[in-house]
Structure 1
Amino acid sequence: MNAFTPYSDDAPSRTDVDAMRGSAVIEFGANWCSICQGAQSNIADALAARPPQQHLKIEDGRGKPLGRSFGVKLWPTLVMLQDGREVARVVRPGSVGEITEALQRLDS
């Protein structure tokens, strides 16, 4: 299992996200969130089984505009993007398979 990589407080703007090219995963969560911490192994395993893509771990919460623009309500939430457009989403993933299924929507 990988060590927990903290969520970043330095979020891109929604305009920058919409302009992204290629596949990307934005993971919204909070560093103190035990559910987020518990999901890290499954997230890491699912991402490791795919070709590399951009993975942004963004600290979410009250007053965080990027999470609000995606309608994030529960953590962790993974938003899969293809060329800046959402193609899949997983909220509070419970298994590697659930994440892998959503990741398969990338580049399809």
Structure 2
Amino acid sequence: MHVVCPQCSATNRIPDERLGDGPVCARCKAPLLEAAPFALGDANFDSYVGRTELPVVVDFWADWCGPCRMMAPQFEAAARQLPQVRFAKVDTEAARQTAARFGIRSIPTLMLFRNGVEVARQAGAMSAADIVRWVQSHARG
């Protein structure tokens, strides 16, 4: 299994049976599978999403968006419940190229990627339970 470090963007190879052992990056020693969302931007979006073999859920959001701020703790709670899924946040104000490339028209918008390919998209604020159900229903395959 290949997992990209959210801190230094190094690609790490982790045996599937060791994913639950708290792996750290071989380069920078940062935890690879923290059960918390991390930031992605224009500079690192493609390298992270495209090279990580685990499902990646991306929350496209903005600081001025009330529903985005309301959903943030729900997104964090969902990340804690799904440790084998990576949860990332993209600030649409800071990462305008990435937001435009994916045609983000309303926020919050969640996108699920597998092997760098979008497999599902959902606009609007959701509860943690709804996020977990949505991810589980689309992450298989």
State the TM-score bracket (shorter-chain normalisation).
Answer: 0.7 to 0.9
1:21 to 52, 77, 80: 52
| Structure 1 SS opposite 2:89 | strand
Distance across 2 between alignment mates of 1:71 and 1:17: 19
1:90 to 119, 122, 126: 122
Residue identity in the other structure for 1:20: R
Q: TM-score, normalised by structure 1?
A: 0.74
Higher Cα Rg, which structure: 2
Greater relative contact order structure (CA < 8 Å, 6+ sep): 1
- What are the superposed Cα offsets for residues 77-101 of structure 1, whole Å, 9 maximum, x if unpaired? 1111111011122211232233112
Q: How does 1:29-48 map to 2 (within 5 A)?
A: 29-48=61-80
Identity %: 21
The Cα of 1:67 is off from its aligned counterpart by 0.9
Structure 1 spans left out of the alignment, 5+ residues: none
Maintained 8 Å contact 2:38/2:87: no
Structure 2 spans left out of the alignment, 5+ residues: 1-36
